[in-house]
Every structure is written in C-alpha cells, then in structure tokens.
Amino acid sequence: MPTTRRQWLQQAALSASAFSLPSSLLAFEETRKPVDRIILLNSNENAFGPSKLVAKAMADAAAMSNRYPDDQVPALKEKLANFWKVGKENVLMGAGSSEILGLACLLVSNEKGHVISAEPSYKVWHRQAENYGLQIHTVPLNEKRQLNLPNMISLIAKDTRMLYVCNPNNPTGLALEYESMRQQVLEASKKCMVLVDEAYTEFANIPSMASDAANNPNIIVAKTFSKIYGLAGARVGYAISHPDTIKKLAAFQPWPDVAVSMVTAAAASAAIDDQAFVKSCRERTAANRDYCGKCFSSLGLEYLPSQTSFMLFDISGIKGDFSEQMIARNIFVQYRDHFNGKWCRVSMGTEEEMKAFCAALKSIATT
C-alpha cells in the first residue's frame, strides 16, 4: 500500500498502463477506480476531471505532438477571448496560473518594493516574489475570515508594487461580495498593479473581472484550467489584462504563449466547450461541501462556509497528529496553522471519497 502521494501516483501510472490504448488516455473518473485506495484531498485537484471530451481531445492531439502548436495556441486564445468577451491581445497563456503569478511578480519587481497580500491566503508565489527582491506584506482577514480589502488597500504606499487579491480565497474558500470587491479593485488599481487570482471563481459561480482587466493596464486576472476544469496535471492557465500589460508579461516568456503544448491546447479548448462538465463539477462539489459541513457540525467542529472545492475546519480539539492519523487511513489532507489554532484544509473529492473521509474523521475525532 503506498504511503506517499508520489508512491500513489507511481502506482496509478502503472495501473493506467495496464489499460489498453486508447482507454488508458481516457483518464476520467471510472478508469481510476482500481487504484483508488489512496484518497488525495490535499492539493485542491478536481477528482472528477478531466472530462471525457477533454481526455479524447488530448488523446487525439497526442498524435500531432511532432508539430509545434503554432495554429492551435492562437485558436485557443481566440476561443478564450470570445468566452470572456475580450480581444485575443488581452490574453497570455502560461503553464498553469502559477506561471502568470510569477510573471506578474517579475513585471512589478523592476523597482524595489513590496506586494500586499492577505494572511492566510495563497502563497506559493511568495518565494519567487522574494527572489525578485520584493517583500510580502500580509494583512489579517476580517472578523468574518474574509479578505480585509479595505485594510489591504489602506496600506498601499509609494513602494507598493502590487496588491494580490485571491477571490475566493485559498485556504478559507470564502468569496467577497462581487460588486463591492470589484469597485475596491478598480480603486486600488489607480495606485498600484492589482493581481486578481480567480482560480476558484467557477465553483463560487461569481463573475470574472476579465473585462475590467482588459481595459486597465493595472489589473491582471489570473485564470487556470487546474481547478474546475480538472486539468491540474496538464499545466495550463492564462492572464487577462490590457494589451500593454500583456505585451510586458509576454516579453518575459522565451516563446510567448507556447508553454502550452499541442496536447494542452487541445485539452483547454475542449474544456471550454464542455461547460456541462463545469456545471456538474460545481454541483457535485457543492453537494459534497454540504455533506462534509453536516459531518463537521455533527462532530462539533467549526468550519468555514466555503464556496470552493475545499473546506477549512478546526481540528484544535482533536488529539494527536491529525494528518498522520488520516494518512494511516490512506487519506491525504493539508494541515494548517491558522487563527492561533490547528486547522485542516480538505479538498472535495468524489462522493465516495468524501464518505470515506467523513468516516475516518469521525473515528479520529471520537477516539
């Protein structure tokens, strides 16, 4: 039995190779059953993905991988531009939205200064920003554990290079009321660059700031196919911004847009077309959140009313090393030190996985 994510993934790959082509490429939910003994709920991946249509498009495109994606990537950009009702000059592709976050940090680091973010918020990009000479100033969440945007904006100073707004926020899963957030972002963009991270907006079903970003050189929207589209392993994301900003970001890429391959361009293109899959993921994930919420309540555990594909709940009252106890039951979750207590961030998996998670949680919390 594998005990680490890496061992599990190796086992999954071996098991997948046992399928005959092309079904080994149809990496949708059902094909994973034989290796589904380890439950990965620690990285906010989408257990339902990729959709069947996407898996088929990837398999078809794999055969064309001897060619550069010169036609496919511009076509994908055009499709994304149409989807968001912006121009294709407003779009820059990246290897996941991580690349976009990194490029935004690089862009604003030409002068010394700092980036304002929240605590807790998504911070994987911090090290890169620091390596570019930027400092990170964090602002605690408000009493509802939402981003404290007014406080964050009030701290914008001469040497503020960027404001990072992750909405909905990771790890809380909470989204700000859209119109008020939008107005505040527009206001802040008069003073500095604002990076709006929309990794989880589709789960919350809230609008994108894409069209505002398209007209404003000081707003960059980061989008990803890793979350609701179920393509974390494909590595495809994009920026939406004013053409001037897009050009500046693109100048940092060795070959603009072409971190996206023939296969990932096909995946993203088919994924955008498959909005039925997006809807189904949103609904199944919401049902799983309800199920977990009931489980947390029944055990007297505080949790935040997430609108995303993960939930944060308080494990301060649970004895011992919670993650270790979960791993002993073949379930991977993420331990978090937040709000002066011990918390766990659990990603929503399949219905079966969430049943197993809740059963494991119950047995840990009641012993």
Minimum distance from residue 365 beta carbon to ligand PLP (Å): 26
Q: Which residues pair with 194 in a beta bridge?
A: 163, 219
Gap between the terminal Cα atoms of the chain: 24
Burial of 270 (0-12, 13-18, 19+ CB in 10 A): buried
Minimum distance from residue 359 beta carbon to ligand PLP (Å): 26
Which of 93, 113, 209, 107 lies closest to 159, judged by CA?
113
For ligand PLP, the closer of residues 226 and 285 by Cβ is 226
Buried b (16+ CB within 10 A) or exposed e, 202-240: bbbebebbbebbbebebbbbbbbbbbbbbbbebbbbbbb
For ligand PLP, the closer of residues 147 and 364 by Cβ is 147
Choose which of 36, 197, 314, 353 interacts with ligand PLP (CB under 6 A): 197
| Count of C-beta atoms within a 10 Å radius of residue 62 | 15
For ligand PLP, the closer of residues 229 and 296 by Cβ is 229
Q: Does 174 bind ligand PLP (CB under 6 A)?
A: no
| Region 67-106 residues binding ligand PLP, contact defined as CB under 6 A | 96-98
CB-closest chain residue to ligand PLP: 96
Decide if 364 contacts 325 (C-beta within 8 A).
yes
For ligand PLP, the closer of residues 232 and 361 by Cβ is 232
Q: Does 120 bind ligand PLP (CB under 6 A)?
A: no
Q: Does 237 bind ligand PLP (CB under 6 A)?
A: yes
SS3 of residue 234 by DSSP: coil
Q: Does 201 bind ligand PLP (CB under 6 A)?
A: no
Choose which of 232, 278, 311, 312 interacts with ligand PLP (CB under 6 A): 232
Q: Which helix (H) or strand (E) holds 164?
A: strand 160-166
Size of the site for ligand PLP (CB under 6 A): 13
Q: Does 44 bind ligand PLP (CB under 6 A)?
A: yes
Q: Does 224 bind ligand PLP (CB under 6 A)?
A: yes
Q: Does 312 bind ligand PLP (CB under 6 A)?
A: no
Buried b (16+ CB within 10 A) or exposed e, 71-87: ebbeebbebbbeebebe
- Where helices occur in the chain by DSSP H, the ranges are 5-17, 52-62, 72-84, 96-108, 126-131, 149-154, 178-188, 201-204, 210-214, 243-250, 262-273, 275-298, 322-327, 351-365
Minimum distance from residue 237 beta carbon to ligand PLP (Å): 4
Minimum distance from residue 95 beta carbon to ligand PLP (Å): 7
Which of 253, 196, 198 lies closest to 225, judged by CA?
198
Q: Does 166 bind ligand PLP (CB under 6 A)?
A: yes
For ligand PLP, the closer of residues 264 and 288 by Cβ is 264
Q: Does 226 bind ligand PLP (CB under 6 A)?
A: yes
Choose which of 109, 148, 167, 170 interacts with ligand PLP (CB under 6 A): 170
For ligand PLP, the closer of residues 98 and 218 by Cβ is 98
Residues that bind ligand PLP (CB under 6 A): 44, 96-98, 122, 166, 170, 197, 199, 224, 226, 232, 237
